Amino acid sequence: MSKRNVFYAQSGGVTAVINASACGVIQACRENPDQIGTVYAGQNGIIGALRENLIDTSHETPEAIAALRHTPGGAFGSCRYKMKDLEESEAEYRRLIEVFKAHDIGYFFYNGGGDSADTCLKVSRIAQDMDYPIQAIHIPKTIDNDLPLTDCSPGFGSVAKYIAISTREASLDIASMAASSTKVFILEVMGRHAGWIAAASGLAAQQSGDAPHIILFPEIPFYREAFIAQVEETIERHGYCVVVASEGTVYEDGALISGSLNKDAFGHHQLGGVAPTLASMVKHSLGHKYHYAIADYLQRAARHVASKTDVDHAYAVGRAAVEKALQGKSSIMVTIERSPGSDYSWSLGEAPLQQVANLEKKMPRSFITEDGYGITDQARDYLAPLISGEDYPPYRNGMPDYPSLKCALVAKKLKTDFSV
């Protein structure tokens, strides 16, 4: 196998551990200098390839690359950019191949969710059509945990840990004040079509009656009257009520409880505002004092409470992508495989991209209680190992010590620019 260069890019919303995957990719590449040349990273994701803005990671020290394992955000920049369908326009994909040819790139590692898997698959197909040898491998990443054919998605475990911890700590606050003040607390979490993040809040409960008392999932239709009745009954029984609501919660007809008509680059409606909407319902119907919080970016940026299991997953799939590429594989996604048995263990596998792209894995109904407001023991058994362990970043002067990379761009070789 001839020595060729690598292009690595981060796509979509970042996570607390996506840089651990970058660390795994770069370290594994550096360990194979006879087969792999320079590792380029896309500045701001796939847009970096289209604009020929390539970051030369060889300028980064081994210490800086190692520090990526404990650094949140996207070290090289990410983007929400929807590549066109091949049938609609080949121009973008042909541009990618032109850039790859100019910089002798033979390995394409795309770190993202379902839309990224689709892009990776299309790059593989157009390269084959153009008779350009490139191995395209998708590195899984999404806090939503909705990628199919993998037990879990790197990025989810740390969000799940953050939400479970936040739910428990906020619940202790509300319980302390409920006798004379706030009786309802609502936490809004991410999750468009799948309720995995909301479900993770259920790990906060240690015994019957513990918060969260009500979890709202996108998979379960929302009924206002039933919800209000459940809140009232919970307050009568426990003195307060803690609600965790997925941003994608919908009515029976599929209409969002709250959202925007605006769409992002992937065609998804801008979500948010479920918590204040629910709070208004409670205030109008029951008159109780309430507080709400919207976890938003905090939940996916909280590297200081990352799950060690999640960090290990993220790093491992990055390394495995390189290893599988060196084995000659392409058009696959690296997967995490849970081993059978009560003691949690895992290994790495792979799945064809055509069975991953643009598909979503939702919560099984067996993971949600019959009344639709909680998680079952089966869900708890699945979720608990994913938040296990601590992997604290180093601290300096009381703050996490996160590195800054040089992110040096290489000289462009193509005469034409590309408008994105």
Tell me the per-residue pLDDT of 206-225, one tens digit each, with 9 for 90 and over. Answer: 999 999 999 999 999 999 99
* 320 pLDDT above the threshold of 60: yes
* 412 pLDDT above the threshold of 60: yes
Q: Residue 264 has what pLDDT?
A: 52
Q: Residue 309 has what pLDDT?
A: 98
As a whole number of angstroms, the distance between CA 25 and CA 321 comes to: 7
As a whole number of angstroms, the distance between CA 370 and CA 171 comes to: 24
Q: Determine what percent of the chain is predicted with pLDDT higher than 90.
A: 89
Q: Please give the mean pLDDT across all residues of the chain.
A: 95
Domain 4-142+305-358+391-400 and domain 156-303+369-387, same fold? Reply is yes
Using CB atoms within 10 Å of the CB of residue 80, give its burial: 0 to 12 exposed, 13 to 18 middle, 19+ buried: middle
Give which of 136, 163, 134, 116 is closest to 18, Cα–Cα.
116
* 259 pLDDT above the threshold of 70: no
pLDDT, tens digit, 9 for 90 and up, residues 43-90: 999 999 999 999 999 999 999 999 999 999 999 999 988 887 777 778
Beta bridge partners of 259: 271
Show me where the domains of the chain are located. Answer: 4-142+305-358+391-400, 156-303+369-387
Q: Residue 413 has what pLDDT?
A: 96
Backbone angles phi, psi at 121, to 5 degrees: -65, -45
As a whole number of angstroms, the distance between CA 280 and CA 71 comes to: 38
Give which of 203, 166, 158, 162 is closest to 315, Cα–Cα.
158
Q: For the residues 356-377, what does the mean pLDDT come to?
A: 96
The topology under which CATH files domain 4-142+305-358+391-400 is Rossmann fold (3.40.50)
User: Domain 156-303+369-387 has what CATH class?
Assistant: alpha beta
Q: How many CB atoms lie within 10 A of CB 253?
A: 6
* 267 pLDDT above the threshold of 80: no
Name the residues annotated as catalytic. Answer: 144
pLDDT, tens digit, 9 for 90 and up, residues 124-171: 999 999 999 999 999 999 999 999 999 999 999 999 999 999 999 999
Q: Residue 258 has what pLDDT?
A: 82
Specify the higher pLDDT residue, 271 or 10: 10
Cβ neighbors of 95 (< 8 A, separation 6 or more) are 50, 418
